Amino acid sequence: MTVVLNPATEEEIAEIPGASVEDADLIVQAARRAFPAWRAIAPADRARLLRRLAGLVEEHGEELALLETRNVGKPIQDSRGEVAMVAEVFYFYAGAVDKHHGETIPVAGGVDLTFREPLGVVGLIVPWNFPIAIASWKLGPALACGNTVVLKPAELTPLTAVRLGELALEAGIPVGVLNVLPGSGSVVGQRLVEHPDVAKIGFTGSTEVGRSVMAGAAGTIKRVTLELGGKSANIVFADADLEAAAASAPVAVFGNAGQDCCARSRILVERSAYDRFVELLVEASGEVRVGDPEDAATQMGPLISADHREKVSSYADDNVVFRGNAPSDRGFWFPCTLVEATNEDRVAREEVFGPVAALIPFEDEDDAVRIANDTPYGLSGSIWTRDGAQALRVARAVETGVLSVNSNTSVRVATPFGGFKQSGFGRELGMHAMDGYSEVKNVYIATGE
Ligand code: NDP
């Protein structure tokens, strides 16, 4: 049995039986049995079932949001937004079912057709920081393409995944199509990665575990999509709207208590504007409301666990220019923290995954790009400037999968999301995700012409 805690109160909120390797094998078998019928279902019917699931997520939105908040410690307003996005994701992929198709290609002597074929059973392994949201990013395209799935939530945060599985059955999605397998990563996660009947792993998590997923998948030449860690740069040029950039920067790194792969945890500021920007940023950081995640006014909750808090605190001792307030009684709290650093310091090189940002000055455009790229990661980032040409030059030069200009957002349902370098490969969301859950089959028909 795994005991599930509320990280804001340390109260036990559930007990979940951890699945065994034998359970994993039974679930993969069930998914395998369900595959032929799910693949063959009329596209309009598959779309209708996904739309029904989206509708049920909306109907149960408040319940799912509260479950997520209690399990992850994230502010209820964030959970509401994420659950609304889950419904939007299922609506989007319901619409994608019959819009992701093959081509006819002109060739000599016949006709050449391509088909988009589902892969079979896919394993979806997700982390604890955005449990239901990240699950939906994988489930939507995987199911829309005609695959059956085994979803393995993180051991710390299985609750919304289990509820989503129930809602899928209520929506009429056939038994065996969407399976939920709570359990430990090193036991059932690993089994999915190595299982000969699992055709693909869609994984989100740390770069370290991503490496072992890639290695484990090699034995069966399994397809993998990896969404891994990040150390993204928030680049602020001196000509930017400094007030807007400073007002937005705290959410970009303290949102979800910094437990966000897209966190802009390196704040790069042009030296001539550095002092003014830091003054504005400290003021804005002091306004972040930290406290009870179930209060609609709260902007930052606790970290996920005591162990994780210990790890985060090891990055927040030196050159601190700001430390906010946080509750000090029960719960895994940690305050918003700004530290001055160079890009060589540990806080600027490693993914902290907590509310700690490194402030780094730069000299000019080339220096900004050099520092931004001097990291093994390449997931996200922002550029703040009023110079449109500069924004485009820097956007092209920064080695990262997702960038925003004069904004700190990273994720939109219709647009591709994913990393460069050691932040992983493959794309989630938008129509790009459909490519990752299907194979292209090429059929040539000789016509005697
Ligand atoms: P982990 O990599 O530890 O875990 C992610 C998932 O993988 C969990 O479900 C975990 O199971 C499972 N897992 C662990 N070991 C194995 C294994 N050997 N084989 C198969 N599966 C395994 O990451 P965290 O859950 O700690 O999440 C935090 C990390 O995720 C951060 O580094 C963050 O950057 C990254 N992340 C990346 C995102 C992206 O899109 N790029 C988005 C969100 C997070 P269990 O925990 O149950 O043991």
189 CA from centroid of ligand 1 (Å): 10
Nearest CA to ligand 1 atom 22: 185
226-241 per-position pLDDT tens digit: 999 999 999 999 999 9
Contact 422, 378 (CB under 8 A): yes
Average pLDDT of the segment spanning 421-436? 98
Q: Give the pLDDT band of residue 448 (cuts 50, 70, 90).
A: confident
How far apart CA 265 and CA 395 sit, in angstroms, is: 18
pLDDT at 188 over 90: yes
Q: What pLDDT does 390 receive?
A: 98
Closest-CA residue, ligand 1 atom 34, reads 229
* Choice from 5, 261, 308 to test ligand 1 binding pocket (greatest atom count within 8 A of CB): 261
What is the residue with the minimal CA distance to atom 14 of ligand 1? 185
pLDDT digits (tens, 9 = 90+) for 115-135: 999 999 999 999 999 999 999
In the chain, % of residues over pLDDT 70: 100
Phi and psi, residue 329, nearest 5°: -85, -120
* Residue 441: closest CA among 122, 39, 34, 31: 39
Is 190 a pocket residue for ligand 1 (Cβ < 6 Å)?
yes
Q: Say yes or no to pLDDT of 318 above 90.
A: no
Which residues are bridge partners to 106 per DSSP?
Answer: 111
**Ligand 1 binding pocket includes 204 (Cβ within 6 Å):** yes
Coil/strand/helix, residue 95: helix
- How far apart, in whole angstroms, are the C-alpha atoms of residue 178 and residue 167? 10
Cα distance between residue 331 and residue 9, in whole Å: 5
pLDDT for position 328: 85
Is pLDDT above 90 for 317? no
Which amino acids are annotated catalytic? 227, 261
189 Cβ inside 6 Å of ligand 1: yes
For ligand 1, whether the C-beta of 434 sits within 6 Å is no
Q: Report whether 48 contacts 98 (CB < 8 A).
A: no
Single out the residue of 225, 47, 63 nearest to residue 134, CA to CA: 225
Closest C-alpha residue for ligand 1 atom 12: 185
Q: Characterise 421 by phi-psi region: left (phi > 0), alpha (psi -120 to 50), beta (else).
A: left
Q: Whose CA is nearest to atom 40 of ligand 1?
A: 227
- For residues 349 and 367, is the Cβ–Cβ distance under 8 A? no
Among 5, 204, 307, 410, the mutation site with the greatest number of ligand 1 atoms within 8 A of its Cβ is 204
Q: In angstroms, what CA-CA distances link 61 with 57, 67, 138, 343?
A: 6, 10, 19, 42
Inter-residue contact 15 to 63 (CB < 8 Å): no
349/373 Cα distance (integer angstroms): 11
Distance 309 CA to ligand 1 centre (A): 17
User: Tokens standing for 137?
Assistant: 């990013």
Helix boundaries (H) for 99-184 = 131-144, 159-171
Give the pLDDT confidence score for residue 88 in this predicted structure.
Answer: 98
Structure tokens at 301: 């909750």
DSSP 232: -
The two tokens of residue 158 are 């299985």
Residues 6+ apart with CB under 8 A from 81: none
Our answer on whether the CB atom of 20 is closer than 6 Å to any ligand 1 atom is no
pLDDT in tens, 292-302: 999 999 999 99
Alpha carbon of 127 to ligand 1 centroid (Å): 4
Neighbours of 223 (CB within 10 A): 17
Residue 329 above 90 pLDDT?
A: no
Given a contact cutoff of 8 angstroms between Cβ atoms, the answer to whether 8 and 293 are in contact is: yes
Burial of 25 (0-12, 13-18, 19+ CB in 10 A): middle
- Does residue 247 surpass a pLDDT of 90? yes
Atom of ligand 1 nearest to the CA of 308: 26
State yes or no: pLDDT of 395 exceeds 90: yes
* Nearest-angstrom CA–CA distance, 68 and 321: 33
Structure tokens at 256: 């979800």
Beta carbon of 154 within 6 Å of any ligand 1 atom: yes
Distance 265 CA to ligand 1 centre (A): 19
β-bridge partners, 112 = 105, 444
20, 72, 85, 129, best to mutate for ligand 1 pocket (most atoms within 8 Å of CB): 129
Distance 97 CA to ligand 1 centre (A): 29
What one-letter code names the amino acid at 337?
A: T
Ligand 1 proximity of 212 Cβ (cutoff 6 Å): yes
Residues of the chain with pLDDT > 90: what percent?
98
Q: Residue 440: how many CB atoms within 10 A of its CB?
A: 11
Report which protein residue has its CA nearest ligand 1's atom 18: 186
Average pLDDT of the residues of the chain:
97
Mean pLDDT of all residues in 191-211: 97
Residue 441: predicted pLDDT: 98
Q: What is the pLDDT of residue 361?
A: 98
Chain centre to alpha carbon of residue 387? 31
For residue 322, the cross-strand partners are: 338
CA 125 / ligand 1 centre spacing (Å): 8
